[in-house]
Homo-oligomer: A and B are copies of this chain.
């Protein structure tokens, strides 16, 4: 029963995500969907990415949360346009919400929109929101078994960020196991070990994301 229901929602979501992707293509905007557990450090990572990418790109942020506007306030304090999307209980963001929110931004002036998805290692991975690429954030304190236990989130992603890497000495986290499990479900996408808090490893990640954004925007230019 439940599977049939999800299927219906997802077919509908697929139509809308195509429309979102088309709108973004016309505006030459790269949408980046950032997913991970509650407390993986997604907002902190976005904050640090903004600081390092804002010279080259004009950035906006959609902050997804069940309730509250704590994260949108953190982003807005950087003078970055931010919209808080409250799902009022829903455990993931759907393309319909992105479609609804996009007109809130001055789209002609934007290059990149970061979407911070609901903190959840399960449901968000099932919903295409029209993104150009996905980043999954896993943090050291969560444990090295999460890839085996929540495979879809690590399979359907373009990049894995292993965050809070500075905490490695304090937790029983087997890096080799995590890397092996990741390669098992996702042989291609890169893995970055970073601490958004201390800055460790951020240069390589920022270089990768900047390159991806340029590719996406250039691709649109070539096509358009």
A151 & B67 in contact (Cβ 8 Å cutoff): yes
B66 & A151 in contact (Cβ 8 Å cutoff): yes
On chain B, the residues within 8 Å of A91 by CB distance are 91, 120, 122-123
B122 & A66 in contact (Cβ 8 Å cutoff): yes
Q: Which residue of B lies closest to A91 (CB)?
A: B122
On chain B, the residues within 8 Å of A89 by CB distance are 122, 126, 152
Q: Which of A45-53, A137-145, A186-194 sits within the interface?
A: A137-145
On chain B, the residues within 8 Å of A145 by CB distance are 68, 70
Task: Tell yes or no: A121 within 8 A of B by CB.
Answer: yes
The distance in angstroms between the C-alpha atoms of A70 and B151, with both chains bound, is 13
On chain B, the residues within 8 Å of A39 by CB distance are 37, 139, 141-143, 146
**0/1 interface trace, chain A 1-24, chain B, CB 8 Å (1 if under):** 110010011001000000000000
Given contacts A91-B122, A122-B120, contact A67 B37 (CB under 8 A): no
Number of copies: 2
B149 & A164 in contact (Cβ 8 Å cutoff): no
Task: Tell yes or no: A207 within 8 A of B by CB.
Answer: no
Residues from 110 to 144 in A contacting B, C-beta threshold 8 Å: 118-123, 126, 139, 141-143
**0/1 interface trace, chain A 22-57, chain B, CB 8 Å (1 if under):** 000000000000000111000000000000000000
Q: Which residue of B lies closest to A181 (CB)?
A: B68
Residues from 196 to 219 in A contacting B, C-beta threshold 8 Å: none
Q: How far is the CB of A193 from chain B (nearest CB, A)?
A: 16
Q: How far is the CB of A167 from chain B (nearest CB, A)?
A: 7
- A39-B146, A120-B120 given; name 10 further pairs at CB < 8 Å: A1-B8, A5-B5, A38-B143, A38-B146, A66-B149, A70-B145, A89-B126, A89-B152, A91-B120, A119-B121
User: Can you report 25 residue pairs joining A to B where beta carbons are below 8 Å apart?
Assistant: A1-B8, A2-B9, A37-B142, A38-B121, A39-B141, A39-B142, A65-B149, A66-B152, A67-B148, A67-B150, A68-B149, A70-B145, A70-B148, A70-B149, A89-B152, A91-B91, A91-B120, A119-B146, A119-B149, A120-B120, A120-B121, A122-B123, A139-B141, A167-B170, A170-B170
